[in-house]
């Protein structure tokens, strides 16, 4: 056996041993369910009391009525714990608002850049007179704006909002968070400007020039500090699932970015291997864990039932940590990189089925018989949609990594469709749901036009489904045409045309949903629209906090 194969086997075995070691070290009551740990997101007496801040009074009552189950306690929630939560929310409101506002701006901007790029693929002579408008730059502007601008800002906002809530302690180091947020967004804005002007590092997902990347990394370090300090100073004994994912995600993205951006180290095909390891893991170790962590909080919180199995979530977390990080090499299948590298990534891609199934079983059991609550709460609908898309996109991704599938799918729009199912159908939809939940708590003001939340949901979900289904089909046809030596290459271009046009239709719906969302957000921030409860809410401060926190 040669050294490459040995190292491959070594990495795999090490992961397995590490996995079992970690689970074993946390074995206390591993086989006994731990409902107390699963319930830490609720105050005493709060289980059974639904919580969707995006719903107005009467709709909230309907959701409550629908969620009622025999045996629910009728006592109020523990006032001291609610007071802790109010203090936690108040401590984080300002920085979280900053991150969410930046995220909304980048979403609108990045979505439009994406739609224009999509249109350019079937109108190739449209907007070509200036260099910054060309497809190669505009698609990269889109990618940087949505991945770093929208998803990263929104996830940072969610992490910072949930940490103090889950740890029952006020956030410390707010000024550092504001500084970090400023640095991160300076980096994103300068990165986008640089790409438009043609200054890029040229590596997919890592285009932001490295001198600008320093600002991003510095910003992330400023953010990690206060988050870890809050973690150490917590009042709760047990750490909830969401906290694991969010702490891990923050550390991973920072390390990942620093390793990936290190100037002058990577070269040739090794750089290509690193590039795709980064590209896959910015999704796997940052977007996914934070969005999964958010589902673990918001879904049970809205329906007011703890997750079914705390231990299953433990298994899901550690398997994700050990398997996902070694994925990415399979993006170079058939390329000039060592074969063992690709095999390792394919094996770990298949292993990723374990955490995905663990998550899905857990959520499925938690939601069993309660799916209909989605009819009453658009926020819940966003989160549920995201959870289902996580299952689908991850299973698709595992099988897509296989050599036989990649033979066709590699180098085609099929991969693009898959990436959007993950980043939009799953992550972005969860982020939308989380923002609808958080904003009324942050601003102490209701969403002014609750009907728009449903409009947003339907536009976005129909948009992404059109995008995914049609583009996947077109991409598959493209792959078959490309693989057939008897057909000229241009066939693989011509065959995609109708599907590229459908992609623009789906993209237009998604952008329309963003316009609705961002205008609604602005209306809320500017306190426009019908002033239903606002006046009463602020007339009586004691009651105001009660209303705002589910009392």
Partner 1 sequence: MENEVKLTTGVVVTFAIAVSALVVLPYMQVRDVKPPEGLKPYTSAEQRGRAVYIANGCMYCHSQQPRSESFAPADAKRGWGRASVPGDYYYDKPHLLGSMRTGPDLLNIGVRQPSKDWQLGHLFQPRAYVPESIMPSYPYLFEIKDKADPDEETVNLPPAHVPPGKVVVARPEALDLVKYLQSLKRNYPILPPEPRDTTGAPAAPAAPDAAKPAGSS
Residues 442-501 close enough to bind partner 1 by CB under 8 A: 482-485, 489-490, 492-494, 497, 500
Q: Of 196 and 374, which CB lies nearer to partner 1 in the complex structure?
A: 196
Dihedral (Cα; 124, 128, 131, 132), 10-degree rounding: -80
Q: Is 124 in the site for partner 1 (CB under 8 A)?
A: yes
Return phi, psi of residue 32, to 5°: -105, 130
Q: Is 128 in the site for partner 1 (CB under 8 A)?
A: yes
Stretch 188-207 residues interacting with partner 1 (CB under 8 A): 198-204
Q: Is 273 in the site for partner 1 (CB under 8 A)?
A: yes
Sign for the CA dihedral angle at 364, 369, 370, 371 comes to: positive
Q: Which residue has the tokens 């969401």?
A: 242
CB–CB of 24/62 below 8 Å?
no
| Largest distance between two CA atoms of the chain | 77
Pick the piece of the chain touching partner 1 (CB under 8 A) from 65-73, 242-250, 355-363, 509-517.
242-250
Pick the piece of the chain touching partner 1 (CB under 8 A) from 54-62, 213-221, 408-416, 438-446.
408-416
Pick the piece of the chain touching partner 1 (CB under 8 A) from 321-329, 352-360, 501-509, 523-531.
321-329
* Least distance between partner 1 and beta carbon 439 (Å): 29
Q: Is 75 in the site for partner 1 (CB under 8 A)?
A: no
Dihedral (Cα; 438, 443, 448, 452), 10-degree rounding: -30
Q: Is 339 in the site for partner 1 (CB under 8 A)?
A: yes
Q: Is 412 in the site for partner 1 (CB under 8 A)?
A: yes
* Least distance between partner 1 and beta carbon 140 (Å): 6
CB–CB of 456/70 below 8 Å?
no
407's enclosing H/E stretch is helix 403-409
Q: Of 412 and 472, which CB lies nearer to partner 1 in the complex structure?
A: 412
Q: Is 428 in the site for partner 1 (CB under 8 A)?
A: no
Token readout for 112 is 């439009």
Q: Of 75 and 237, which CB lies nearer to partner 1 in the complex structure?
A: 237
> From residue 434, how far is each of 100, 140, 386 by CA, in Å?
11, 27, 11
Among 45, 211, 225, 335, binds partner 1 (CB under 8 A): 335
Q: Is 142 in the site for partner 1 (CB under 8 A)?
A: no
* Direct distance between the N- and C-terminal alpha carbons of the chain, in angstroms, rounded to an integer: 66
Distance CA 318, CA 244 (A): 10
Q: Of 140 and 169, which CB lies nearer to partner 1 in the complex structure?
A: 140
Among 42, 99, 215, 277, binds partner 1 (CB under 8 A): 277
Q: Which residue has the tokens 């934070």?
A: 290
Among 104, 105, 184, 285, binds partner 1 (CB under 8 A): 285
Site string (103-122) toward partner 1, x via CB under 8 A: -----------------xxx
Q: Is 38 in the site for partner 1 (CB under 8 A)?
A: no
Q: Is 332 in the site for partner 1 (CB under 8 A)?
A: yes
Stretch 1-20 residues interacting with partner 1 (CB under 8 A): 2, 4, 7, 11, 14-15, 18
Token readout for 470 is 């049609």
Distance CA 432, CA 516 (A): 12
Angle at 458 between CA 107 and CA 116, to 5 degrees: 40
174's enclosing H/E stretch is helix 174-196
Pick the piece of the chain touching partner 1 (CB under 8 A) from 44-52, 147-155, 324-332, 512-520.
324-332
Q: Of 226 and 374, which CB lies nearer to partner 1 in the complex structure?
A: 226
Q: Is 161 in the site for partner 1 (CB under 8 A)?
A: no
CB–CB of 401/345 below 8 Å?
yes
* Least distance between partner 1 and beta carbon 529 (Å): 42
Q: Which of 94, 95, 80 is nearest to 235 (CA)?
A: 80
Among 170, 238, 533, 534, binds partner 1 (CB under 8 A): 238
> From residue 186, how far is each of 111, 163, 179, 191, 388 by CA, in Å?
19, 25, 10, 8, 34
Q: Is 369 in the site for partner 1 (CB under 8 A)?
A: no
Pick the piece of the chain touching partner 1 (CB under 8 A) from 55-63, 64-72, 239-247, 368-376.
239-247
């Amino acid at each position: 056996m040669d050294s490459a194969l040995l190292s491959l086997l070594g990495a795999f075995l090490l992961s397995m041993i590490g996995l079992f070691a970690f689970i074993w070290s946390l074995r206390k009551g591993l086989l006994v369910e731990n409902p107390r740990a699963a319930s830490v997101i609720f105050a005493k007496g709060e289980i059974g009391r639904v919580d969707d801040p995006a719903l107005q009074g009467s709709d909230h009552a309907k959701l409550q009525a629908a969620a009622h189950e025999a045996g629910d306690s009728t006592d109020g929630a523990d006032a001291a714990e609610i007071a802790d939560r109010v203090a936690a929310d108040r401590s984080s409101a300002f920085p979280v608002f900053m991150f969410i506002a930046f995220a909304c701006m980048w979403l609108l901007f990045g979505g439009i850049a994406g739609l224009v790029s999509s249109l350019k693929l079937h109108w190739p002579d449209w907007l070509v007179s200036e260099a910054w408008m060309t497809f190669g730059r505009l698609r990269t502007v889109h990618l940087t704006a949505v991945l770093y601008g929208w998803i990263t800002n929104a996830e940072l906002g969610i992490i910072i909002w949930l940490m103090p809530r889950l740890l029952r302690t006020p956030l410390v180091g707010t000024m550092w968070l504001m500084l970090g947020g400023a640095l991160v967004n300076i980096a994103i804005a300068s990165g986008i400007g640089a790409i438009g002007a043609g200054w890029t590092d040229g590596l997919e997902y890592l285009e932001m020039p490295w001198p600008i990347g320093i600002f991003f990394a510095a910003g992330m370090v400023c953010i990690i500090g206060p988050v870890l300090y809050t973690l150490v100073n917590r009042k709760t004994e047990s750490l909830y699932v969401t906290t694991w994912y969010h702490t891990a995600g923050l550390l991973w993205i920072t390390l990942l970015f620093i390793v990936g951006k290190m100037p002058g180290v990577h070269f040739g095909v090794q750089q290509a291997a690193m590039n795709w390891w980064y590209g896959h893991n910015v999704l796997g170790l940052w977007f996914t864990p934070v969005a999964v962590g958010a589902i673990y909080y918001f879904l049970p919180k809205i329906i007011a039932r703890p997750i079914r199995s705390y231990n299953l979530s433990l298994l899901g977390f550690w398997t994700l940590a050990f398997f996902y990080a070694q994925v990415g090499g399979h993006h170079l299948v058939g390329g000039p990189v060592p074969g063992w590298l690709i095999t390792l990534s394919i094996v770990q891609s298949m292993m990723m089925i374990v955490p995905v199934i663990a998550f899905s079983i857990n959520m499925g059991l938690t939601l069993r018989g309660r799916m209909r609550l989605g009819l009453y709460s658009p926020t819940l609908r966003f989160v549920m949609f995201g959870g289902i898309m996580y299952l689908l996109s991850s299973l698709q991704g595992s099988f897509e990594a296989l050599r036989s599938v990649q033979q066709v799918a590699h180098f085609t729009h099929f991969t693009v469709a898959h990436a959007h199912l993950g980043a939009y159908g799953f992550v972005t939809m969860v982020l939308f749901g989380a923002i609808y939940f958080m904003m009324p708590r942050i601003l102490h003001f209701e969403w002014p036009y609750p009907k728009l939340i449903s409009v947003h949901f339907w536009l976005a979900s129909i948009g992404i489904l059109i995008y995914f289904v049609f583009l996947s089909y077109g991409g598959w046809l493209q792959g078959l045409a490309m693989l057939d030596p008897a057909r000229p290459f241009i066939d693989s271009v011509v065959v995609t045309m109708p599907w590229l046009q459908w992609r623009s239709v789906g993209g237009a719906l998604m952008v329309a949903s963003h316009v609705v969302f961002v205008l609604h957000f602005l209306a809320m921030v500017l306190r426009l629209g019908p002033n239903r409860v606002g006046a009463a809410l602020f007339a009586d401060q004691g009651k105001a906090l009660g209303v705002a926190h589910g009392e």
